[in-house]
Amino acid sequence: PVTLKDLWPSDEEIDAIRTLGLDPVELLVIPRVLAMMVSLPVLTFVGMMSGMVGGAAVCALALDIPPSQFIAIVERDIALNHYLVGLGKAPVFAFLIAVIGCLEGFKVSGSAQSVGEHTTTSVVQSIFMVILLDSIAALFFMEMGW
Judge whether 55 lies within some domain.
no
- Angstrom CA distances, 63 to 54, 69, 70, stand at 13, 12, 11
Total tally of structural domains belonging to the chain: 1
Q: Note whether residue 119 is domain-resident.
A: yes
In this prediction, residue 66 carries a pLDDT of 96
Cα–Cα distance measured from residue 47 to residue 55, given in angstroms and rounded to the nearest whole number: 12
Q: Does residue 13 belong to any structural domain of this protein?
A: no
49 assigned to some structural domain: no
Q: Is residue 9 part of a domain?
A: no
Range(s) of the domain holding residue 33: 24-43+79-144
- Of 28, 33, 31, whose CA–CA distance to 13 is shortest? 28
Q: Is the pTM of this model over 0.85?
A: no
Asked whether 72 and 105 are in contact (CB, 8 A), the reply is no
In degrees to the nearest 10, what's the CA dihedral of 65, 74, 137, 47?
60
Q: Is residue 134 part of a domain?
A: yes
Examine the pLDDT at 3 and tell me if it is beyond 70: no
Secondary structure, 3-state, 83-95: HHHHHHHHHHHHH
Average pLDDT over the chain, rounded to an integer? 90
Decide if 93 contacts 87 (C-beta within 8 A). Answer: no
pLDDT beyond 90 at 83: yes
CB 146 within 8 A of CB 83: no
122 within a domain of the structure (yes/no)? yes
Domain membership of residue 61 (yes or no) is no
The mean pLDDT of 25-52, rounded to a whole number, is 95
